[in-house]
Chain A
Amino acid sequence: MSAGQQLRVVDAGQSRPNTSAVTVPAFAYAFQPIVDVEARKVVSYEALVRGLGNEPAFHVIERVPKCNKYQFDQDSRVAAIARAAKLGLACDLNLNFLPQGLYEAPASISATLDAAVENHVAIERLNLEVTEEEVIADCAHFAARLNEYRRLGLKITIDDFGAGYAGLNLLAELQPDQVKIDMNLVRGIDKHGPRQAIVCAVAQVCTDLGIDVIAEGIETVQEYRWFADQGIHLFQGYLFSKPGFECFPPVCYPASN
């Protein structure tokens, strides 16, 4: 996803985050399942920001004043947790996170954890997604800060992995719980040698470091089969389920051969 769409998480329609006098657009969520095709179950939902009428995330985000960017990021996670809990969350919840928020909004993560406790969601269920691009600038410091929270059970996902310049180097400093393969590598991978070679290398590194690989943005059965043949079993994409507006949508498991 583009940088403008990073703020995918966010609040239920009726509530407006309490950000003092500054206007923040009202927003809603869509939840997209991340599935384990071997266990045939939903292992997590990614919370995605939507407009009140299910408009795409950027409709909301472009209306957030710049100075409120990190506050919005923080508030959106709090609201996403409340909404997911209300929907009866019984698996993990993937929440987007702007790493810069660690400095710009110091309560950023603790507010997220407090929301989990308030809504009776175990912290081990929360998975913070940060994009590769956002982390590289200050990776070692970022890793050290995050480790304070990982102690509590919080999990870390590197989103859009393979999209930025850091690539595999990032994993020398920070070993996340999951990586999501960048969609640009996924598209048409079944017919594209260089993409296959890159993803095979990423998958091997992840196996060696105990990192789960999620193939995100899967749209065709051919793309899915290629990943499944590599032993990858975690998927997210239209082929399985579109994001459900204000709900946990049903999942379709394609035949594997």
Chain B
Amino acid sequence: MDLPNTAPLIHCIYSSAATHAFSPEELAELLKKAREFNALNDLTGILLYAEGSFFQVLEGPEEAIAALYAKIENDKRHEQVTKIILEPIHKRSFAEWTMGFSNVSREELAKMEGTNDFFSKARCFADLDSGRAKKLLAAFRDGRWHKTAPSMRQKVAA
């Protein structure tokens, strides 16, 4: 059997620690910009924000992901950027790119385009194929891969 000659798809799954507590407004801004960028670059996936941790599944053409991940690693809004999985995939798990926030009410979320229900009804999670992305999202939901920046830790202690 011949290997396909279309642009190979990969997914990259990472977690990181926000360097400051993101307000709903900041998250909305991040969401809007990332939605535009990812749509233009054929990138799909999911970004979650919970208790100062980010967790993202990005899927798309290998080169687009490599370029974006290099930018992500240098983004000053987070630290401890930890690559968990980078591997080829047969097909996408996500039809678009969305974000989920644990600190934004359901009513607020409903007003924003491109949010998902991961932290409420979790229909976006239930609908996923039982692949790597789903298993790792389940791990994050259960408290694995949560990262906390030292500055945020002090805040919690105070």
> When the two chains form their complex, are residues B3 and A177 in contact, meaning their CB atoms are under 8 A apart?
no
Shortest distance in angstroms between B145's beta carbon and chain A's nearest beta carbon? 7
Closest to B6 in A: A151
> When the two chains form their complex, are residues A150 and B90 in contact, meaning their CB atoms are under 8 A apart?
yes
Interface segment out of the listed B18-26, B34-42, B101-109, B132-140: B132-140
> When the two chains form their complex, are residues B1 and A150 in contact, meaning their CB atoms are under 8 A apart?
no
Closest to A207 in B: B139
> When the two chains form their complex, are residues A209 and B84 in contact, meaning their CB atoms are under 8 A apart?
yes
Across the interface, which residues of B come within 8 angstroms of A147, CB to CB? 87-88
Kindly state the separation between the CA atoms of A152 and B13 in the bound complex, as whole angstroms: 20
Q: Pick the residue among A113, A124, A208 that contacts B1 (CB under 8 A).
A: A113
Residues of chain B at interface, number, CB under 8 A: 22
B-contact 0/1 string along A173-188, CB 8 Å cutoff: 0010100000000000
Shortest distance in angstroms between B102's beta carbon and chain A's nearest beta carbon? 20
Whether B152 is near chain A, meaning CB under 8 Å from some CB there, is no
> When the two chains form their complex, are residues B90 and A151 in contact, meaning their CB atoms are under 8 A apart?
yes
Whether B85 is near chain A, meaning CB under 8 Å from some CB there, is yes
Q: Pick the residue among B4, B9, B90, B139 that contacts A210 (CB under 8 A).
A: B139
> When the two chains form their complex, are residues B9 and A151 in contact, meaning their CB atoms are under 8 A apart?
yes
Shortest distance in angstroms between A152's beta carbon and chain B's nearest beta carbon? 6
Across the interface, which residues of A come within 8 angstroms of B85, CB to CB? 175, 209-210
Whether B124 is near chain A, meaning CB under 8 Å from some CB there, is no
> When the two chains form their complex, are residues B139 and A208 in contact, meaning their CB atoms are under 8 A apart?
yes
> When the two chains form their complex, are residues B132 and A114 in contact, meaning their CB atoms are under 8 A apart?
no
Closest to B88 in A: A151
Q: Pick the residue among B3, B84, B145 that contacts A152 (CB under 8 A).
A: B3
Beta-carbon contacts under 8 Å, A181-209 to B = 207-209
Whether B123 is near chain A, meaning CB under 8 Å from some CB there, is no
Beta-carbon contacts under 8 Å, A120-165 to B = 123-124, 147-148, 150-153
Kindly state the separation between the CA atoms of A208 and B3 in the bound complex, as whole angstroms: 30
Kindly state the separation between the CA atoms of A175 and B131 in the bound complex, as whole angstroms: 13
Shortest distance in angstroms between A247's beta carbon and chain B's nearest beta carbon? 27
Whether A230 is near chain B, meaning CB under 8 Å from some CB there, is no
Beta-carbon contacts under 8 Å, B93-135 to A = 131-135
Name 8 A/B residue pairs within 8 A (Cβ), A-sorted. Answer: A110-B1, A152-B3, A175-B85, A207-B135, A208-B84, A210-B131, A210-B134, A210-B135
Closest 5 CB pairs of A and B: A210-B135, A153-B90, A151-B88, A113-B1, A210-B132
Contact surface of A with B, Cβ cutoff 8 Å: 110, 113-114, 117, 123-124, 147-148, 150-153, 175, 177, 207-212
